[in-house]
Amino acid sequence: MSRQHAYNSPPLRAWLGLLVVLGPVLLVSMDGSILFLAMPRISQALTPTADQALWMLDIYGFAVGSLLIAFGNIGDRYGRLRLLMIGATAFGIGSAGAAFAPSPELLIVARALMGVAGATLLPSALAVLSELFADPRRRAQAIGVFAAAFAAGFAVGPVAGGILLERFWWGSIFLINIPVVALFLLFAPILLREVRATRPGHVDALSVVTSAAGLLLTIYGLKHAAAEGLSAVPVLVGITGLGLLAWFARRQRSLQQPLIEFSLFRDRVFTVAIITGLLPLAAWSAAAYLAGVFLQSVLDLPVLSAALLALPGAVVLTVTCVVTPSVVDRIGKRSALIVCHFSIAAGLLFLLPTAITGGIGWYVASTVIAGVGYGICFSVVADTAVGAVPAERAGSAGAIAETSNEIGNALGIALLGSLAALIFRLQGPDLAPTLDETLQLPNLAPGVVMEAKTAFTTGLHLVAAVAGVLHMALGILASRWLPRSVRAQAGSDTRSGDTTDRAESTTR
């Protein structure tokens, strides 16, 4: 067998290793969305306050997003396989704790632990693919499968949750993680080899703390300001978080081993791709959560029926992720990014005709059309991030891409979800802060129920309109800002990056 043929044909170990890596990837992404349809059932069982319910949804994405960059670098420098094993173990422990949590507070804590563990898994799993697949085309295919699994997890999460809730108690949506974690811990040491940077250096602990604290405080302040209005505490918390992030960014420029390579953002394609990782996830998470409540609480559909309605969009999203790398080879990343934003905008606007008396067809059409854009988003962002850097920075670059996804997911619930909650309080019957809490009140008059459902639907429409307009603006920006020669530049960068990968990486 010639060297070229061997280079282009990854061994069976590579494909089996990819299969093993996809397990935790699916879990981490699924748990970012699996609560969307489960919240009504959890609210009945644990009776959380409105603020606690939001934190059950938010804390996971906050924890993952705020620590991805730090753990991406730690895995680069001290061993990606080691971090994968530790993270998978912690994820399993957090899942068991969440499944049997007796109170809202303990469920929030367990979800936070799962988020911390998820932050260890995603960047290291993505970086391991650089070692498994040396050829840039094969690596792009593997990253496409990785992105498809990540996207499928987000899309299938509510569906899986709905199916489980139809037969089991709410804790079952977390217990399904345990067998996958066990299989990963069994086979990962056999199929995956340890990979780390040639010159690992040290991790700046102060940067880790300030980046995590800055992100958490900023998001906390924004969420509470959007949900409850401007007051001293959230404003001060948000300003403190922004100050920490500014200091963190300034500190990175003076470090020999920074947590974030800000020089990567000088490339317009990379920058637009990372923004593409942020905004679509914000729109998707908010629309998926609010649409789940709309289907169950406004249209009174059973949880399983609501879950099955999300399947067409999930299928389109997953298939788009798989085929996007091949399509990008032909049309270029510029065209792909433009299509991404305009298809998401169109899909979101399809939610506007929904009403308290119907709109199931509009909802399904919305998920299918937007699913094309979401699939492109997942695939292009991951491929751009990893292909832009040498092997020893693959984990941290992948972390930037995944951070944009997770922060977008958290911001979607925190900000766009809070916008919908604000509209409900302003236009609703003012009996409870959320629609589900209002509908659970005894002896409600039909007119009050109608008023509550109408207010919630108005909030859903406003969120869809705002997110749709933002995506149209980004589509226009991409069409005017990105050069038409993006495809040729991207191919050159990939070949150069691959040469650097082989020259500078080591496997142990």
What are the CA-CA distances from residue 163 to residues 319, 401, 462, 498 (Å)? Answer: 22, 31, 30, 43
Give the integer Cα–Cα distance in Å for 146 and 24: 11
| Among 289, 54, 36, residue whose Cα is nearest residue 165 | 36
3-class secondary-structure state, position 303: helix
Measuring CA to CA, which residue among 106, 121, 117 is closest to residue 21?
Answer: 121
Give strand pairing partners of 195. 507
What's at 371, amino acid-wise? Answer: G
* Three-class SS state of 133: coil
Q: Which amino acid is at 155?
A: A
Whose tokens are 């559909």? That residue is 301
- The whole-angstrom distance between residue 311's C-alpha and the CA centroid of its chain comes to 18
Q: What sign does the dihedral 75-76-79-80 (CA atoms) show?
A: positive
Name the class of domain 12-203+257-507. Answer: mainly alpha
Report the distance separating Cα 442 and Cα 96, nearest Å: 35
| 343 contacts 476 by C-beta, under 8 angstroms | no
Beta strand residue intervals within 146-237, DSSP E: 195-196
CA nearest 282: which of 14, 471, 104, 100? 471
Residue numbers of the chain with a pLDDT score lower than 70: 1-10, 50-51, 69, 72-73, 76-77, 123, 126, 130, 134, 136, 140, 144, 147, 151, 194-202, 223, 225-229, 267, 269, 382-399, 402-403, 406, 410, 483-508
Judge whether 54 and 222 are in contact, CB under 8 Å. no
Structure token pair of residue 206: 């102060």
Q: What tokens appear for 72 in the block?
A: 């991406």
pLDDT confidence of residue 431: 81
Identify the pLDDT of residue 398: 61
Q: Are 379 and 324 in contact (CB under 8 A)?
A: yes
- 8 A C-beta contact, residue 388 and residue 397: yes
Match 């005894």 to its residue by tokens: 442
Which position has the token pair 């069994």? 186
For residue 344, what pLDDT is reported? Answer: 94
Residue 79 has what DSSP assignment?
-
**297-303: long-range contacts (C-beta < 8 A, 24 or more apart)?**
297/40, 297/435, 297/436, 297/439, 297/453, 297/456, 298/356, 298/435, 298/453, 298/456, 298/457, 299/356, 299/358, 299/359, 299/360, 302/166, 303/37, 303/40, 303/41, 303/162, 303/165, 303/166
Please tell me the distance from the alpha carbon of residue 447 to that of residue 439, in angstroms, as a whole number.
12
The ranges assigned to domains in the chain are 12-203+257-507, 204-256
Any idea what the Cα angle at residue 60 is, between residues 402 and 425, rounded to 5°?
A: 115
Q: Which of helix, strand or coil describes residue 507?
A: strand
Phi, psi of 301 (to 5 degrees): -80, 145
N- to C-terminal Cα distance for the chain?
A: 25
Residue 142 is predicted with a pLDDT of: 76
Question: How far lies 103's CA from each of 43, 47, 48, 98, in Å?
Answer: 11, 8, 8, 10
* C-beta separation of 98 from 114 below 8 A: yes
What local confidence, expressed as pLDDT, does residue 100 receive? 92
Q: Which residues pair with 212 in a beta bridge?
A: none
Could you tell me which residues come within 8 angstroms of residue 180 by beta carbon, excluding any fewer than 6 positions away? 23, 24, 26, 27
* Burial class of residue 92 (count of CB atoms within 10 Å of its CB; 0-12, 13-18, 19+): buried
3-state SS class at 364 = helix
Length of the chain: 508
Tokens matching residue 392: 């020893």
